[in-house]
Amino acid sequence: MKSFQLIIQSQVSRYPLSRIEDLYKLTYQAALGSEHAVEDLKAARDWLFHEIEEMVNISTDPLFDEISPDGQIVRIHLKPFIDSGGEPEILLEAFMQTASEFKGSIEKLKQNWRDIEHLAESCEFMFKSDELRSYISLMDSLGFPAVHHSLKYRDAYHPHYRVISREYVHQIIPSLIQ
């Protein structure tokens, strides 16, 4: 089991222009998976293929990132996935299965956020703990909604990924289990 603080430090190191909403988005996905992102199969398919068409040609993202401390939730990055011969329909199926089957919790989200606050209190960090507490209080008052990446993050990193349960990785990336 990985500490959520290590996950955050890794993400911030790779994406130093992250804003608070980007940390929250990661925390949200790590705790609640991808349920918020799925309206219906056709919309999810259209969204996936639109993103594949719009991807920039260069990516330094790994094929996937474990984003939850227990390793159950991962982000599959589309550019390296497609470049390695990945099948979008298989990824879509794993994404849809995760959305319908994974049962996360707001309590996990809150615990992960407390880990970020502790990180801010214990070392040099890009955000102060009072900023983090204010942001999570706002999200709590709004019922912990899903959010988009910040404009700064989108412009700098062009994020294209799908959040799936780790149990489906072997279905979409068979070479990883050999």
With b meaning 16 or more CB within 10 Å and e meaning fewer, what string describes 32-56?
A: bbbbebbeeeeebeebbeebeeeee
Query: How many whole angstroms separate alpha carbon 130 and alpha carbon 132?
Result: 5
DSSP 149: P
pLDDT of 34: 83
Query: How many whole angstroms separate alpha carbon 126 and alpha carbon 129?
Result: 10
pLDDT one-digit tens code per residue, 134-170:
999 999 999 999 999 999 999 999 999 999 999 999 8
Query: How many whole angstroms separate alpha carbon 162 and alpha carbon 35?
Result: 11
Closest CA to 172 of 76, 103, 72, 102: 76
Task: Determine the 3-state secondary structure of 64 from DSSP.
Answer: strand
Query: How many whole angstroms separate alpha carbon 175 and alpha carbon 131?
Result: 42
Contact 63/77 with Cβ under 8 angstroms?
A: yes
N-to-C CA span, the chain: 22
Residue 128 to residues 101, 122, 138, 152, Cα–Cα distance (Å): 36, 10, 16, 19
pLDDT one-digit tens code per residue, 84-135:
889 999 999 999 999 989 989 999 999 999 999 999 998 888 999 999 999 9
Which residue did the predictor score with more confidence, 67 or 1?
67
Q: At 83, which helix (H) or strand (E)?
A: helix 78-83
Closest CA to 38 of 30, 50, 46: 46
pLDDT confidence tier of residue 56, bands split at 50, 70 and 90: confident
What is the model's pTM?
0.92
